[in-house]
Amino acid sequence: MCGIIGIVGNKSVADRLVDALEKLEYRGYDSAGIATVSQGELDRVRACGKLVNLKQKLKETSLSGHCGIGHTRWATHGVPSEVNAHPHSTQRVAIVHNGIIENHETLRQKLMAKHHHFESLTDSEVIAHLLDDYLQQGDSPEDAVRKARKELVGAFAIACIFHGHDDLMIVAREGASPLAVGLGQEENYVGSDALALSPFTDQLFYLEEGDMAILSSGSVELWDSEDKKITRSTFQSQVSVEAISKEGFTSFMEKEIHHQPQVVEATLASRLDDNGQIKPSGVDWNAIDRVTFAACGTAFYAGMVAKYWFEKIARLPFEIDIASEFRYRMPPLSANGLCVIVSQSGETADTLAALEYAKSQDQTILSIVNVPESSIERVSDITLQTLAGPEIGVASTKAFTTQLAMLATLAIEAALARQVITSSQALTYIEELRQVPSLMHLAMGKDHVIRTLSKKLATMSDTLFLGRDINYPMALEGALKLKEISYIHAEAYAAGEMKHGPIALLEDGYPVIVIAPKDSIVEKTASNVQEALARGAWVIAFTDAPHIFSGCDYIEMPESTLLQSPFVSAVLIQFLAYHTAQEKGTDVDQPRNLAKSVTVE
């Protein structure tokens, strides 16, 4: 979750550390800081809040030095504050940390007994003191890191610089906290992802579990978990910093909503061959009797939509679970089964752990990820990459719809391979998918109507989203989007379930948002809406059958099929959340308390 950057080179690093932190701010933004070592002296500047505050402070206090580390924080232990911000330092060492040290309390007690004085409430500060303790005893920085890491329990990626060493940085990784090492000209780098390193170098390798590396301006040396000196091959990163611009939109989220037709089209195109047929994914669909799916957040809802597609179109059972539940539930899985894992970042700790569990049960892992070269991709058997491009807004939009695009093509592929549909039916489905970008454009035309409704919605404190069948996961995603960025409480229910509880909440003016494209059961949903209207609710219906939603405010959707409608409703619920948040004046790109990449449990 937190972002780490480190540079050891031959020119000043402070400004460049801050520039790199800008690219990592999606990982956390409650405080930030940098530390450098210059003429042997460690120095640091930290600030609470977004990076802009750190920049302001650095105007008053500049940091010199050719070796430095930076951090942007998503709080786990200790409130967001300057004192809890990284880097954490002692006289002898400064460190930045991503992850969680589970035995921090025991270590803290032990170190306090040895007269170490702690200033923060973070788990991370123990790393600095533990290293300091070994350094005090005369260990070299290298030995101190080697010994300290053996005492740390948990998941961590750390980067450390040392008093008296202007050309030395030591980094280490344990657990689900990625760390990339970048190789440059008389300069080397470390970063939480390839994006942060993209302004400096495209030659990278990732630290594997248990690796430790020693960086100087002229060399990188590496040891594995067994303390064997090794080398790892570098690759050329394809991540480009150019893609990170708002392109005239007021926020990344707004840009990302508008880019969906083109990235969905690109993602679909990547799955079709020259004859317009779906390319084989590599899965033997006749060898499996069910699919298991695990993911978190919005990616989980993409899987929930896919469940309806796989079960209705391919007649293949599709079991879904939230990754954080799946990993500890220890579900029995059929031998040689298929596990589908979806993740925008390819890094989410719970999703990665769910994948590892599935692997331990001899499942073939098919992952759908957006960030190239991610941890999940590296341990999957088959990876399909969504072509959403960098998604910067914390609330997922274009990653979600490209995930849907991938999953839809897989459902058609499975249906055809299992001979549940004919080739001509497959072509009809593919043609429906080809129309999706235009339908999304049509949905975007409803922007102004949604904006008007959002003015009233922004005055509300609670909302209920409803949908049946494939629209139920879309209702869940709609509620998630609204709560994430506008902070309005939003719940979602399967429409038929409203009478079993949430109906008790309804009173005059209570907002109910219903996703109801015309399908075989739209009238059932309309009956539930009547029940809500009868209790005074204010109902907004997203539908292409407005005549059966009399008494509601409605947004007219373009007509769509089972395969198409989730893409259309995705655009509408995103605009609803976006405009409501704009109306409330919240930060849509960096909503409070959230982070884009969640590498802790």
Q: Which residues are catalytic?
A: 2, 596
- Rounded to the nearest whole angstrom, what is the least distance from the CB of residue 397 to ligand G6P in the complex? 9
- Rounded to the nearest whole angstrom, what is the least distance from the CB of residue 28 to ligand G6P in the complex? 11
For residue 527, with 0-12 CB atoms within 10 Å meaning exposed, 13-18 middle and 19 or more buried, which class applies?
exposed
297 touching ligand G6P, by CB under 6 A: yes
Number of helices and strands in the chain (H, E): 19, 25
Helix (H, G, I), strand (E, B) or coil at 503: helix
DSSP letter, residue 339 = E
- For ligand G6P, the binding residue among 345, 375, 386, 402 (CB under 6 A) is 345
Per-residue binding string, ligand G6P, 251-290, x by CB under 6 A, is ----------------------------------------
Helix %, strand %, coil % of the chain (to 5): 40, 20, 40
Judged by beta carbon, residue 129 or residue 255, the one nearer ligand G6P is 255
598 touching ligand G6P, by CB under 6 A: yes
> Alpha-carbon distance 536 to 159, whole Å?
58
Judged by beta carbon, residue 210 or residue 372, the one nearer ligand G6P is 372
Judged by beta carbon, residue 366 or residue 516, the one nearer ligand G6P is 366
- For ligand G6P, the binding residue among 343, 363, 375, 401 (CB under 6 A) is 343
299 touching ligand G6P, by CB under 6 A: yes
Of residues 157, 110, 202, the one with CA closest to residue 2 = 157
72 touching ligand G6P, by CB under 6 A: no
Window 371 to 430, contacts with ligand G6P (CB under 6 A): 394-396
- For ligand G6P, the binding residue among 120, 267, 348, 580 (CB under 6 A) is 348
Judged by beta carbon, residue 108 or residue 483, the one nearer ligand G6P is 483
89 touching ligand G6P, by CB under 6 A: no
- Residue 219's CB is within 10 A of a number of other CB atoms, namely 11
Q: What type of residue sits at position 100?
A: I
Binding segment for ligand G6P (CB under 6 A), chosen from 130-138, 193-201, 342-350, 430-438, is 342-350
Judged by beta carbon, residue 309 or residue 400, the one nearer ligand G6P is 400
473 touching ligand G6P, by CB under 6 A: no
Judged by beta carbon, residue 185 or residue 593, the one nearer ligand G6P is 593
DSSP letter, residue 146 = H
- Rounded to the nearest whole angstrom, what is the least distance from the CB of residue 326 to ligand G6P in the complex? 13
Judged by beta carbon, residue 9 or residue 175, the one nearer ligand G6P is 175
> Alpha-carbon distance 160 to 131, whole Å?
9
- Identify each DSSP E strand in 487-591 by its residue range: 489-494, 511-515, 538-543, 553-556
> Alpha-carbon distance 181 to 213, whole Å?
9
Binding segment for ligand G6P (CB under 6 A), chosen from 61-69, 157-165, 345-353, 509-517, is 345-353
- For ligand G6P, the binding residue among 281, 344, 380, 574 (CB under 6 A) is 344
Judged by beta carbon, residue 393 or residue 437, the one nearer ligand G6P is 393
Judged by beta carbon, residue 460 or residue 594, the one nearer ligand G6P is 594
- Rounded to the nearest whole angstrom, what is the least distance from the CB of residue 349 to ligand G6P in the complex? 9
Window 169 to 198, contacts with ligand G6P (CB under 6 A): none
- For ligand G6P, the binding residue among 379, 442, 458, 594 (CB under 6 A) is 594
> Alpha-carbon distance 390 to 388, whole Å?
7
> Alpha-carbon distance 329 to 191, whole Å?
33
- Rounded to the nearest whole angstrom, what is the least distance from the CB of residue 72 to ligand G6P in the complex? 15
- Rounded to the nearest whole angstrom, what is the least distance from the CB of residue 256 to ligand G6P in the complex? 11
Reading the block at residue 353, the tokens are 């752990």
- Rounded to the nearest whole angstrom, what is the least distance from the CB of residue 445 to ligand G6P in the complex? 26
Q: Are 377 and 367 in contact (CB under 8 A)?
A: yes
- Identify each DSSP E strand in 105-219 by its residue range: 154-162, 169-174, 180-183, 188-191, 203-206, 212-215
Residue with tokens 């569990």: 357
- Rounded to the nearest whole angstrom, what is the least distance from the CB of residue 528 to ligand G6P in the complex? 28
Of residues 34, 33, 37, the one with CA closest to residue 8 = 37
- For ligand G6P, the binding residue among 377, 582, 596, 600 (CB under 6 A) is 596
Q: Are 514 and 495 in contact (CB under 8 A)?
A: yes
Return the sign of the alpha-carbon dihedral for residues 320, 291, 400, 510. negative
Instruction: Round the CA-based radius of gyration of the chain to a whole number and report it.
Output: 25
Helix (H, G, I), strand (E, B) or coil at 407: helix
> Alpha-carbon distance 527 to 506, whole Å?
16
> Alpha-carbon distance 457 to 112, whole Å?
52
Residue least distant from ligand G6P (Cβ): 297
Contact residues: ligand G6P, CB under 6 A: 296-299, 343-345, 348, 351, 394-396, 594, 596, 598
